[in-house]
Amino acid sequence: MSTVPPPPTDPPEARPAPAPTRWPETMNGVASLISAGTALLGLVLGFFVLPAAGVPSPVAPNATTTVAVPGPVTTVTATATVTAAPQDAGGSSASASGGPSGAVLLRDVPVLPESFNPLSAHQATLDGKTRDDAVTAVSYANAGGVRTYYNLGRGYRKLTGLLGLDDSSRNMETDVSIEADGKRLQFVHLSLGRTTPIDVDVTGALRLAITCTAPRSPTGIEGPTVVFSGAALS
């Protein structure tokens, strides 16, 4: 008996290989935005939150950070600029009392109790010019003149200003002496219409004395008005 071979059968159709899983393009964009936001948040924390908490920021005051995210090319650049606070230079440009830089007007320095008819803050006129920064006193004739004492506390080096007689005062001459701890620093003979600049060294001085010799008068009338304009300690 002969054997009949089975009829040929067609080979099974080949199944297509599964396509590789692809990350959606929209998800790439979301990841990029999240990474950029995280970088920007780090910048904000470094500039504002950490310094406010007393932690120095490791980032420079002006910094630019570039973040590259894997996937489609997406580059995010975040720039933050912080204006530094002005540094304290160790002193102000002008004193609170309005004197020259680093100086204190004499009118703002307390007068000691032992003073007699002391200088005090008043507007005055010297040689036709109004002076708003002056200390003045009327040196009454036969009444002991003017004696003004200040405690310097050994904290100053210079006394400066302009001495004269007020334009509206009596035309009488008077003498002014400036002393520090009993040592005469300057002696000025004042007359109407003439001014004398003052610039004396008071380094290390404790007590400052400004005295005006009272003019002599047979009637004891009011004497001249002594003006110390722009008087300042520095």
- Rounded Cα–Cα distance for residues 55 and 59 (Å): 12
Q: What pLDDT, in 10s, does the model give residues 68-100? A: 545 555 454 545 444 444 443 333 333 444 455
Q: For the whole prediction, is pTM greater than 0.75? A: no
For the CA atoms of the chain, what is the radius of gyration?
44
Under a CB-based contact definition with an 8 Å cutoff, are residues 78 and 65 in contact? yes
Between 85 and 156, name the one with better pLDDT: 156
Q: What pLDDT, in 10s, does the model give residues 181-200? A: 999 999 999 999 999 999 99
Tokens of 20: 């590789």
Between 11 and 184, name the one with better pLDDT: 184
SS3 26: helix
SS3 38: helix
Tokens of 11: 């080979």
